[in-house]
Amino acid sequence: METEHEWPPHRQTLTLPPPARPTPLEPAGPPPARTARRTMIGAAVAVLLTAGVLVVLPTRIGGGQDAPPPAPGPAARALTAVGAGAPAAAADLTALIADRRAWVRTHPSDDASWAVLGSAYLGRGLRAADSSYYPRAEWALRRSLAVRPAARGNADAQIGLAALANARHDYGAARTLAEEVRRREPKRWTVYPVLIDAYGGLGDLKGASKSVEQLLDLRGGSVALAASGAVYRERGWREDAAATLTEAAAYATTPVQKADCLRQLGDLAWDRGEPAEALAQHAAALRTDPGGHAALAGKARAELALGRTAAARHDYAAAVARLPRPEYLLELGELYESLGLGADARAQYARLRARAASDDGHGVSDALVLGRFEADHGAPESAVERLRAQWRRAPNAAVADALGWALYRAGESEEGLVFAKQAAEKGGRSALFSYHRGVLERELGQSGPARRDLEEALRTNPYFSPLLAPRAREALEALGELPEGGPKDVYGHVPDPPTGAGSGSSGSAASPPQKPTPSPAPRKRKQ
């Protein structure tokens, strides 16, 4: 962990005595018009991934109420982004970090600058997928709270700590910290994106949905629109999500902010199984912000679906070199495995383990991606143990799906199907989730539901995985065609034939057919 004494010797640098209220990044007028489906959000899973978004509003930086606005420059741009809860460029965050470190050397009682420094460290770590910045972020944020406690009005540092807890996948701590801020200052809009992320991670649909409503009531512009677009995407309202994210991109006032919206549009197109559209959106995001390496991974995913394997391998390798998120390492390893490149796949899996170990040392839990990896490429029993613990901490749709699949891989299909269905009940909609349910149902002899869910997986996105999409097709072929006249009960129950039917005896009346056992009422599936 870095300390003040470890900093480089003081050198002359531009300091930013910021204004009492930073220049807003986006319009602060009334919230934009919302679609009719806004009223239905209560049924949605509202998970907003805030990676790369800073959510501390520095209202007291530098302590000077009459200080002029900062001069234009990278540090000032990052400061404005910090104030508006928007993504910032890595170089700008680095400049802001250097500036605030120089400032607090001579102003150690400036709690607001400590809060900005901590949030800039967090943003830098998120931008580069480098969790080594997180202990530094925590240290600076806690220094801010030591100077001015949260109870005396230091909401900025407490929101920063909540955002840090989300980045570490400690959603319970994030919720506790953010709810305290909301109770004290319900009009502080910057707390709501953190709450949306925390509630989503905890599988609390009601809390997440309410936070989305409150954010939209308090704030217009790109950040709020992007938040609502993410909710619509998770709910499966793809047209609404596309329209809202497109509007968010139009409201964006920096290249980094716009590129983040374009990347989300690319991810949405991928969800719909439209790789050409996904490729176009991710390419546009990269033209807008060449440092947006998450868009580079999305571009590689789309290229692979379009049969451009060499380009996909190149872009995936470049993405993980610059943004080594464990999920990207898993995707690249599975791509190599699908191509029969076992040694290359094992190298990526080794990097995944090393990255997860490094993250663990910085307080980050990668239990979800590690559980997915171990279920298919390691020890399924270990995956079950890891994911059960994660389910207790974060009972959301993604964990339910991963735990259900790990149980299947460990030979516990009946319990696995319970969790796979919970993933759907919690709002999770993806081709991968449908594939997992279909395989579990097939394993348990439920051919009707299995056929339905496998078809749904391939209809949703026929390219969802280079390893698993071909297996979904094979499983459907193995199930065969529907029996003539359709199944008696698509929910897995086939009634026994009537007693005496088809006995072929002559001269005696056949026994009256027995009334078949009624089928259970089909459960309504969330659309």
Q: Where are the domains of the chain?
A: 10-30+41-220, 324-365, 382-479
Neighbours of 508 (CB within 10 A): 8
Q: Could you please report the per-residue DSSP string of 385-411? A: HHHHHHHHH---HHHHHHHHHHHHHTT
Highest CATH level, class, for 10-30+41-220: mainly alpha
Alpha carbon separation from 388 to 59, 258, 381, 401 (Å, rounded): 42, 38, 11, 12
Least confident of 35-44, 309-318, 426-435: 35-44
- The model's confidence at residue 83, banded by pLDDT at 50, 70 and 90, is low
Which residues does residue 53 pair with via DSSP β-bridges, in sequence order? 87
Closest C-alpha to 252, from 240, 265, 235, 233: 265
Q: What is the pLDDT of residue 12?
A: 33
Looking at the chain, the whole-number percentage of residues with pLDDT higher than 90 is: 64
The candidate with the shortest Cα–Cα distance to 155, out of 98, 194, 102, 100, is 194
Question: Measured in Å, how far apart are the chain's first and last C-alpha atoms?
Answer: 47
- Residue 322 to residue 484: CA distance in whole angstroms: 55
C-alpha dihedral sign at 408, 413, 417, 418: negative
Tokens of 45: 């899973």
Q: Do domains 10-30+41-220 and 382-479 have the same CATH topology?
A: yes
Mean pLDDT of 76-100: 84
| Burial state string for 142-161 with b = 16 or more CB within 10 A and e = fewer than 16 | ebbbebbebeeebbbbbbbb
Task: Examine the pLDDT at 44 and tell me if it is beyond 80.
Answer: no
pLDDT band at 512 (very low <50, low <70, confident <90, very high): very low
Q: Determine contact, residues 163/119, Cβ cutoff 8 Å.
A: yes
Write the DSSP assignment of 120-143 as a string of letters.
HHHHHHHHHT-TTHHHHHHHHHHH
- 3-class secondary structure, 53: strand
CA-to-CA distance for 515 and 65, rounded, in angstroms? Answer: 82
Of the candidates 430, 52, 58, 77, the one whose C-alpha atom is nearest the C-alpha of residue 226 is 52
Please check the confidence at residue 483 and state whether its pLDDT lies above 80.
no
Calpha distance 520→493 (Å, rounded): 9
Q: What is the model's pLDDT at position 500?
A: 39
Helices (H) and strands (E) in the chain, counts: 23, 0
What's the residue count for the chain? 527
pLDDT tens digits along 109-136: 999 999 999 999 999 999 999 999 999 9
* Predicted confidence band of residue 85 (pLDDT cuts 50, 70, 90): low
As given in the structure block, the two tokens for residue 276 are 């050409």
CA 310 – CA 46 distance, rounded (Å): 36
| Least reliable range by pLDDT among 132-136, 245-249, 304-308, 508-512 | 508-512
- 205 Cβ contact partners less than 8 Å away, ≥ 6 residues apart: 42, 43, 44, 45, 46, 199, 426, 427
The torsion angles phi and psi of 133, rounded to 5 degrees, stand at -75, -20
Domain 382-479 sits in CATH at 1.25.40.10
The DSSP bridge partners found for residue 87 are 53
